[in-house]
Amino acid sequence: MKIKTDFLIIGSGISGLSLAVNLSSFLPDEKILLITKESIHQSSTYYAQGGIACVSNHNDNNEKHINDTLIAGDGLCDEKIVRKIISQASDRIDDLINMGIEFTRNEEGEYDLGQEGGHSERRILHVNDQTGESVETTLINNVKALNNVEIKERWCGVNLYVKNLKCYGAHVLEEDTEEIHNISAKSTILATGGAGKIYLYTTNPDVVSGDGIAMAYRAGAMISNMEFYQFHPTCLYHPYAKSFLITEAMRGEGAILKDIKGNEFMEKYHPQKDLAPRDIVSRAIDAELKKSGDDYVYLDIASYQDSTFIKTHFPGIYEKCLEFNVDITKNPIPVVPAAHYSCGGVVAGIDGKTEIKNLHVIGEAACTGFHGANRLASNSLLEGLVCAYECAKFLAEHNMNLKRKDFPEWEIGDAVPSTEAVVITQNWDEIRMLMQNFVGIVRSDLRLKRALKRMNLYSEEIDYYYWNYKVDKNLIELRNLSMVAEILIRCALSRKESRGTHYNENHPKKLQLARNSYIKRPW
């Protein structure tokens, strides 16, 4: 089916939803189609616990926030971008408040600002420990109230249609009917999030398989810094918990990491101890586990805060852990690091603009230079808000020059229905295990080379399957996942140093000259 719209937004996290709200405000008469491959709330945003970094007290200022971001980014942040985004934080927070978000306040009626790793001041605005759920739900309600925005759930992007470095829209699979639609738009915006599902252990929901990054790469866009995949240090260790995230804010409120014998260990690794940047804490836990042979470490808040405080500040975590027989008011929480956030992505400006005309990328799928080699805690939702606003403003200012053009419909060719779905599940599991073991928190040249060799075999098999069988969502995700995994490995191999979230034991030192890594599809 051919579908025409003015703006096509792919993704329903904070970036995609905020873009829809802002774009509708700037261009109320233009048609906006927002598609998402599962239900609209299924995004990393929904599961974000910590909050949004924003200067909000008299002891703090933007220069401190900027400096903390640059330090965490380990020499690879674009300072101009950092300054632009942080300078807008207060305005974008006001936008959320006007939409109905009520950030948690203390007994004095002031914002209850959280403290997280890498921050020199308390500046994390939050809604208890369920900030993402509150933000996502509020944005969804606002988007659904807009007359010029249409939402399509269970619609999955297959490929962008790009010719002569100009994007005309996308081919999209409607999962329920198995029909592939031809959606033409004046501008296409990817807000598809990261790629955490390339790893065995991740805090990301199942939908996060690198779709936007892979689609843009196939279309000819430049990808940068994919080797910088941030691992969150503390995720609930339990076979059925699916790596449930334990917010960094808990350590900000006094929780301490300990080995299973009860010994504190972070003082051995960094002066900030348990509030060191995420890459350092993750490597410290990894080192302790390799040394001890244990499967997890403990995060202990029960010894440092009373039960009322814990239940009030972390109600979501308290309830979730109880489901797995862990009472965090009485016992420490078993935790392990898990893949959390992609600091790299499609090279894009603060307005999402890419080198492909009429293709914009915002949020975690983009690499704007804001995060550098390691994202500062709670800067991700902030980036999503600001870049969505800047993207909407750019599109509104250039709307008169944007033209929609039809393109060829999807061709099934000789493809037949799948008869060997086991190929998909087998490759999916093997790739994620490979990435976890060979391209994880600590890497080496040998493991990376072995990983690339194996990925070439997987890619060949997946490519054959893609061209000979009808596509479905599982095959689309596997194809994207394998492509992003290979991109990450190639970027990691190209970096002969250790910086930020990328640590290679063969190159433990940091080079004097900081540089970004770039990769583009060979034609």
- Enter the tokens of residue 506: 């063969």
Q: Which residue has the tokens 């033209």?
A: 403
Q: Is 245 helix (H, G, I), strand (E, B) or coil?
A: strand
Q: In whole angstroms, what is the distance from residue 383 CA to residue 274 CA?
A: 25
Amino acid 370: pLDDT: 98
Model pTM?
0.92
Q: Are 320 and 235 in contact (CB under 8 A)?
A: no
pLDDT per position as a tens digit, 103-131: 999 888 999 999 888 899 999 999 988 89
The rounded distance, in Å, linking the Cα atoms of 435 and 56 is 39
**What DSSP state is assigned to residue 400?**
G
Give the distance between the most distant pair of CA atoms in the chain. Answer: 68
Q: List, as own/partner pairs, every contact residues 288-291 make where C-beta atoms lie below 8 angstroms and the sequence separation is at least 24, other chains included.
A: 288/259, 289/336
* Whole-angstrom distance, CA of residue 404 vs CA of residue 164: 15
For the chain, how many helices (H) and strands (E)?
A: 15, 19
* Residue corresponding to tokens 């802002």: 22
Query: Hey, what are 516's tokens?
Result: 């970004």
**What kind and span of H or E run contains 279?**
helix 278-292
Q: Which CATH architecture has domain 422-506?
A: Up-down Bundle (1.20)
Rounded to 5 degrees, what are φ and ψ at 417? -60, 145
Strand partners, 264: 258
Question: What are the percentages of helix, strand and coil residues in the chain, rounded to 5?
Answer: 40, 20, 40
Pairing of strands 179-184, 166-174: antiparallel
Other C-beta atoms closer than 10 Å to the C-beta of 426 total 13
Token code pair at residue 199:
């790893």
Which residues have a Cβ under 8 Å from the Cβ of 61 and sit 6 or more positions away? 55
Q: Which residues of 470-489 are buried (b: 16+ CB within 10 A; e: fewer)?
A: ebbbebbbbbbbbbbbbbbb
Taken in order 386, 391, 396, 397, the sign of the CA dihedral is positive
The stretches in the chain having pLDDT less than 50 are: none
Q: Which residue spans of the chain are classified as CATH 3.50.50.60?
A: 2-227+343-401
Distances (CA, A) of 61 to 4, 74, 138, 158, 418: 46, 21, 28, 44, 57
Do the Cβ atoms of 326 and 333 come closer than 8 Å? Answer: yes
Question: Which of 239, 102, 221, 202 is closest to 160 using CA atoms?
Answer: 221
Q: Quick one: pLDDT at residue 266?
A: 97
Range(s) of the chain covered by CATH 3.90.700.10: 233-338
Cα–Cα distance for residue pair 309/313, rounded to 1 Å: 6
Contact 374, 278 (CB under 8 A): yes
439-480: pLDDT as tens digits? 999 999 999 999 999 999 999 989 888 888 888 999 999 999
Query: Residues 51, 317, 73, 341: is their CA dihedral positive or negative?
Result: negative
From residue 103, alpha-carbon distances to 45, 108, 122, 128, 136 in Å are 16, 14, 14, 8, 14
Encoding tokens for residue 310? 């814990």
Alpha-carbon distance of 131 to 315, in angstroms, equals 12
pLDDT at 515: 96
Catalytically annotated residues: 278
Q: How far apart are CA 404 and CA 3, in angstroms?
A: 11
Task: Report pLDDT for 523.
Answer: 62
* CA-based nearest residue to 145, from 99, 187, 101: 99
- Only one residue has tokens 């994207």, namely 480
Q: Tell me the three-class secondary structure of 485-508, residue by residue.
A: HHHHHHHHHHCCCCECCECECCCC
- The pLDDT value recorded for residue 416 is 74
User: What does CATH list as the number for 233-338?
Assistant: 3.90.700.10
Concatenating the DSSP letter of every residue in 164-183 gives: TTEEEEEEEEETTTTEEEEE
Coil, helix or strand at residue 443: strand
Nearest-5° angle of CA 331, CA 336, CA 338?
140
Task: Report pLDDT for 265.
Answer: 97
Alpha-carbon gap, residue 184 to 370, rounded angstroms: 31
Phi and psi torsions of 409, nearest 5°: -75, 165
Q: Position 335: which residue type?
A: V
What pLDDT, on the 0 to 100 scale, is given for residue 240?
79
Name the nearest CA neighbour of 207 among 476, 489, 439: 476
Strands 345-347 and 223-224, bridge-based pairing: antiparallel
CATH code for residues 2-227+343-401: 3.50.50.60
Strand arrangement, sheet containing 366-367? 366-367, 345-347, 223-224, 518-519
519 in Cβ contact with 216 (< 8 Å): no
Enter the tokens of residue 416: 């037949």
